[in-house]
A and B are shown apart, each in its own frame.
Chain A
Amino acid sequence: MGCTRMAEKDPQSTGRDPGVCIPWQEKMKDLPEIKGDPEIVKRVWEDVDSLAYIYIWHCLESF
């Protein structure tokens, strides 16, 4: 799911992608070396992060 054609990034832009508040790449820098499966950590971070994204955009659009 995603708006791929519209989300092609302008190299000048610092904006977050749709669905993202705090990108995984940014959060990763806070963490020690991951001893287990990094993909699980990344996936769950992004899933929960997307809820915050939905929150602010629905505040704007729906309420």
Chain B
Amino acid sequence: MPDSMQQLYDERLKRYTTAMRNEKPDRIPIRPFVAEWTAKYAGYTIQEITHDYELAFAAARKCAADFDWDAVVGNMVYVWTGLTQAIGIKYYATPGVDLPPETAFQYKEPPEDEAFMQPDEYDRLIADPTEFLFNVWLPRVSTEVSAEGEPTSLRNNMSFLKGGMAMLSYFSSFGEQGARLKEESGTVSAIAGMLKTPFDILADKLRGYVGLVMDLHTQPDKVLKACEALMPHLCHVALAGADPEKNVPITVWMHRGGVPFVSPEQFKYYYWATMKPIIEEIWSHGHQVLFYAEGNWTAHLESFAELPEGSIIYHVDQADPIETHKVLGDRFCISGGIPNFTLSYGTPDDVRAACKRVIDGVAKDGGYIMDASAIMQDDTDTENLRALTEFTREYGVY
């Protein structure tokens, strides 16, 4: 790697980490979470980048190099459908298989009576979550894995072998992708390690949203105990994937605790009560957490403000970044807040105006990272993304 590329990388890493610590860098770092848009820009179909992760990596590298961004995710599409097919996971609709090749993968939540965990199975989950996942959950979500009591089969055995080998191959390749981003364009890999909250896991993958909110009324104690049983495991997985250098954050992908999915009381008693200790534990190990707060979480900002100063980066989706900054800005870095609608259907002038509003209102004293509100899929307009990039580079200098 030439010295100039190393120097470029070092400058970007410093810019990015300074902002994340809520301090003032030389200029606002640009860290766009670009997903299916990378396929459109790099000349691939969505099927190609979703089913062949090497193509997704190549697309991410091309975008990072061409747009000169400070930090990107190695593969923001993330769900590699070659892996989910090997395991036989049935809750994805796969581009090019179940969907047209230009449609992004979809998550299919089952009907309430076919939930992957039934309402009378809380005790078994609480007693031993790992056993429950292997013996109860996996056979239900996989077309290949034999259920308890069923004879084993070649396809059952191959699911574990192929799934394990494929996951190892995929995760290992992120190391090489990070090195190539650094060497080829001086780009920082933006995040490392992932977290889901206990409540979201129950809602997304076990009981389903409708089943879970019914349980909040019919068996609330079991819901809380299940969340508590999941906490140490979710924390462990997050730390296992964290950046050993402690530069870039673990990301928590937040879904069902926002407005209007649960009441403020339910948020505090279930969602936050079992999320906050995980964040505090991770922070005690020296890692920040990026709150990818999908949807609107404005009603809960005061709860997030309880966390130790600097422990999180708060990403704004369907909320006003300026209002968010008023509550959290003196404690945490803010990212995002540029509406995806504007990036998809507005003009470059609209995008520049949106960026100026957010920079003026949020980034005056540092502690801001430029990004769209939500992950950018293929509806994002390339010229609008270019306008976001160029405007921030010019106007976002301190």
Contact = CB atoms under 8 A, between A and B. Distances in A.
A15 B133 contact: no
Interface stretch (A29-37, A39-47, A52-60): A52-60
Interface string B91-118: 0000000000000000000000000000
A59 B201 CA distance: 12
A54 B127 CA distance: 19
Nearest to A16: B130
Interface in B71-107: 78-80, 83-84, 87, 89
B235 A18 contact: yes
B87 A14 contact: no
A60 B205 contact: yes
B285 A1 contact: yes
Given A56-B134, A57-B133, A61-B234, A14 B128 contact: yes
Given A1-B285, A5-B277, A6-B277, A15 B128 contact: yes
B240 A59 contact: no
Contact of B87 (A5, A21, A59, A61): A59
Given A6-B281, A61-B194, A54 B240 contact: yes
Contacts of B63: none
A57 to B, nearest CB: 5
Interface stretch (B48-56, B225-233, B344-352, B361-369): B225-233
A15 B84 contact: no
B83 A54 contact: no
B130 to A, nearest CB: 5
B69 interface: no
Contacts of A2: 236, 239
B289 interface: no
B65 interface: no
Given A2-B239, A6-B235, A60 B127 contact: no
Q: What range describes how many residues of B lie at the interface?
A: 35 or more
A30 B129 CA distance: 24
A62 interface: yes
B87 A56 contact: no
Interface residues of A, number: 28
A16 B237 contact: no
Contact of A61 (B168, B196, B232): B196
Interface in B127-154: 127-131, 133-134, 137-138, 141
Contacts of A62: 78-79, 194
B87 A63 contact: yes
Contacts of B134: 21, 56
A50 to B, nearest CB: 8
Given A56-B138, A61-B194, A16 B131 contact: yes
Given A55-B167, A58-B167, A60-B205, A19 B236 contact: yes
Given A61-B234, A63-B87, 7 more contacts: A3-B235, A6-B281, A18-B237, A19-B236, A60-B201, A61-B205, A63-B79
26 contacts: A2-B236, A3-B236, A5-B277, A6-B232, A14-B127, A14-B128, A15-B127, A15-B128, A16-B130, A17-B232, A20-B130, A21-B130, A21-B134, A53-B130, A54-B237, A55-B167, A56-B133, A57-B236, A58-B167, A58-B237, A59-B87, A60-B201, A60-B205, A63-B79, A63-B83, A63-B87
List the 7 closest A-B pairs by CB distance, nearest first.
A18-B236, A3-B235, A6-B232, A15-B128, A7-B232, A3-B232, A18-B232
